[in-house]
Amino acid sequence: MRMAVRLALLAGLLSLPANAQLGTAAPVVDISIADSPGPVIDRHIYGQFSEHLGRGIYEGIWVGENSKIPNINGYRKDVVQALKAIHVPVVRWPGGCFADNYDWRDGIGPRDKRPVRINVNWGDVTENNAFGTHEYFNFMELLGADAYLSVNTGSMTPMDAERWVEYVTSDQNATLANERRKNGRDKPWNLKFIGIGNETWGCGGNMRPAVAAANNARYSGFLHTPAAMATIKVASGASGNLDKWHDYKAFTEEMMKNSGPTFGGSLQALSYHYYAMPPNLGPKGPATGFDERGWATQLGYALDLERQIDDVTKIMDKYDPAKKVALFVDEWGAWYQQEPGSHPGFLYQQNTIRDAEVAALTLNIFHRHTDRVKLAAIAQMVNVLQAMILTDKEKMVLTPTYYVFDLYQPFMDASPYKVKVTNASYAYGDTKLPLIDVSAARGKDGKLYLALVNTDPHRTVTVRTGLTGSATGRILAGAAMDAHNSFDRPNAVHPVPFSGVSQNGKLAFQMPPMAVAVVAVN
């Protein structure tokens, strides 16, 4: 059935309450939704990344069975419950740069006999390897999530990677499988994704593009899992943050040319990393206490990912017109100065309503590129960068970013519609952003879902549609640009009920400033 939505945006000159009546003339935006849906929004784009970095694993996820913090076999009970509530589909582990120095054998066997190493990438702190292969895969089963294992191709051999995969996945009467059984796991685990290296252009080996492509082809040939697992091998791809010495287009070209379908089909998926931050690792701003320029530029950084995905997709289409190779944005998110007083190298930062908008805008970008983007992993799940969850010993707080993932759950495995929006902008200085960003999809329950993001930090926007009926859902908004949840005020920012109203027989919404809403149209 053909769907068409006409959406008018009425914006006053001053910030108004959500239920205000707007009487001034305003921009009118027409939105049309395509006749046919695009490829399904793969649920794996709502994935997570968890690295041995700072307090991301230890205290964030793992506290041990003897901890005073309530736990389920060593896993924080409150964190597990929060993650299960948003149906986390996949978690990428153990890194990140940590993976490039990781010996998988350090993380198996009795915990009290595991070696203690130095985490040279993140703070030079000691790593006791209490959280290893068994702890990770059992955690995936506890969450009901798929496993995404990043194997070390920077400092270990293909044989090491091959044996790790065999240890995890073999059900035969063989030495490695029997060693796993001796260590407490009889049946093999399911391994859905294998990352062949991490950031091979950087901490994963400082490889030139041609060398990285050869590295992927070499390791890929040695990694075998049972055919029934249908494991997807993921090549380490480019980054969009390093234009000065790393051309993401040239890197993608080389990976596709030398590893893609025309080379023999060894490439099943290609990763991509992009952090919403100043170009070329420039000086980062604070996570809180920023001004409107900091608000606008950060949202601009987030939206730049769409341009980059368009560039990468064109190159992939050149070598893979049938779109057999998936694009995995398996590291993304906002990166700021770490919190004052926190441990150097732990990348601990606060999370505000601005980060909720970064998350929503990014997820909307993925919804518009479902022909290629089949998995994504926000960095990182707990206590690191743009985290879902923050902890402080026994305390836990859910961040605005967590609530965006909660709001967006109906888009998992939904059928997206292309949305055409005529120009209406929020601008500050040299930064110009779409005033309202929209995603539309037909959920598995048959309902039409709309995600609306108001990027303006001042103006309430009336959104009028050509739809009849009603709409209900939830909205997330902040009283200030850096509104956030703290351990003292854990519910300062949280979703509240939100619904449409009828204007002249048509469905309309009042979108307050700095807001993200998801509604089901009935």
The sign one gets for the Cα dihedral 154, 156, 158, 164 is: negative
Q: What confidence score (pLDDT) does residue 30 get?
A: 63
Tell me how long the chain is: 522
Q: For helices 400-407 and 353-367, what crossing angle results, to 10°?
A: 30
Picking from 413, 439, 461, the residue at the C-terminal end of a domain is: 413
Picking from 381, 413, 445, the residue at the C-terminal end of a domain is: 413
Is residue 1 assigned to a domain?
Answer: no
Picking from 413, 434, 463, the residue at the C-terminal end of a domain is: 413
Instruction: Answer whether the bond into residue 94 is a cis peptide, omega within 30°.
Output: yes
**What are the distances in angstroms from CA 22 to CA 25, 102, 459, 507?**
8, 58, 11, 16
Q: How far apart are CA 312 and CA 326, in angstroms?
A: 11
CATH number, residue 425: 2.60.40.1180
Task: Check 199, 253, 254, 357 and give the catalytic one.
Answer: 199
Instruction: Answer whether the bond into residue 409 is a cis peptide, omega within 30°.
Output: no
438-441 long-range CB contacts below 8 Å, 24 or more apart?
Answer: 438/7, 438/31, 438/364, 439/363, 439/364, 439/367, 439/368, 439/411, 440/5, 440/33, 440/416, 441/37, 441/41, 441/367, 441/410, 441/411, 441/414, 441/415, 441/416, 441/417
Is there a single domain that holds both residue 119 and residue 195?
A: yes
Is there a single domain that holds both residue 456 and residue 376?
A: no
CATH number, residue 364: 3.20.20.80
Count of domains observed in the chain: 2
Q: What confidence score (pLDDT) does residue 35 get?
A: 74
Q: How far apart are CA 20 and CA 38, in angstroms?
A: 36
Query: What is the chain's percent helix, strand, coil content, to nearest 5?
Result: 25, 25, 45
What amino acid is encoded at 302 in this protein? A
82 with 396: CB under 8 angstroms? yes
Task: Check 127, 253, 254, 331 and give the catalytic one.
Answer: 331
* Structural tokens at position 414: 């939904």
In which domain, by residue range, is 47 found? Answer: 43-413
Is there a single domain that holds both residue 448 and residue 409?
A: no
Low-confidence residues in the chain, pLDDT < 70: 1-33, 259-265
Q: What confidence score (pLDDT) does residue 265 get?
A: 52
Q: For helices 77-85 and 133-143, what crossing angle results, to 10°?
A: 50
Is there a single domain that holds both residue 461 and residue 339?
A: no
Count of C-beta atoms within a 10 Å radius of residue 482: 20
Q: How far apart are CA 416 and CA 443, in angstroms?
A: 9
127-131 long-range CB contacts below 8 Å, 24 or more apart?
Answer: 127/52, 130/58, 130/62, 130/64, 131/52, 131/57, 131/58, 131/61, 131/62, 131/107
In eight-state DSSP terms, residue 172 is: S
**What are the distances in angstroms from CA 170 to CA 41, 165, 186, 225, 297?**
32, 8, 10, 7, 49
Give the DSSP letter string of 142-166.
Answer: HHT-EEEEEE--SSS-HHHHHHHHH
Q: What confidence score (pLDDT) does residue 33 get?
A: 62
* Structural tokens at position 86: 């948003």
* Structural tokens at position 176: 């490695």
Is there a single domain that holds both residue 28 and residue 53?
A: no
Is there a single domain that holds both residue 175 and residue 322?
A: yes
Residues near 32 by beta carbon (within 8 Å), at least 6 away in sequence: 4, 5, 6, 419, 420
Is there a single domain that holds both residue 269 and residue 326?
A: yes
162 with 223: CB under 8 angstroms? yes
Is there a single domain that holds both residue 31 and residue 48?
A: no
Is residue 190 assigned to a domain?
Answer: yes
Residue 371 CA, distance from chain mean position: 17
Is residue 3 assigned to a domain?
Answer: no
**pTM listed for this prediction:** 0.93
331 flagged as catalytic: yes
pLDDT digits (tens, 9 = 90+) for 348-398: 999 999 999 999 999 999 999 999 999 999 999 999 999 999 999 999 999
Q: How far apart are CA 347 and CA 383, in angstroms?
A: 8
Is there a single domain that holds both residue 118 and residue 245?
A: yes
Q: What confidence score (pLDDT) does residue 13 get?
A: 29
Is there a single domain that holds both residue 348 and residue 276?
A: yes
357 with 481: CB under 8 angstroms? no
Is there a single domain that holds both residue 396 and residue 457?
A: no
Q: How far apart are CA 350 and CA 361, in angstroms?
A: 19
Provide the 3-class DSSP secondary structure of residue 308: helix
Is there a single domain that holds both residue 342 and residue 438?
A: no
* Number of alpha carbons in the 13 Å side-chain half-sphere of residue 9: 28
Q: How far apart are CA 308 and CA 301, in angstroms?
A: 11
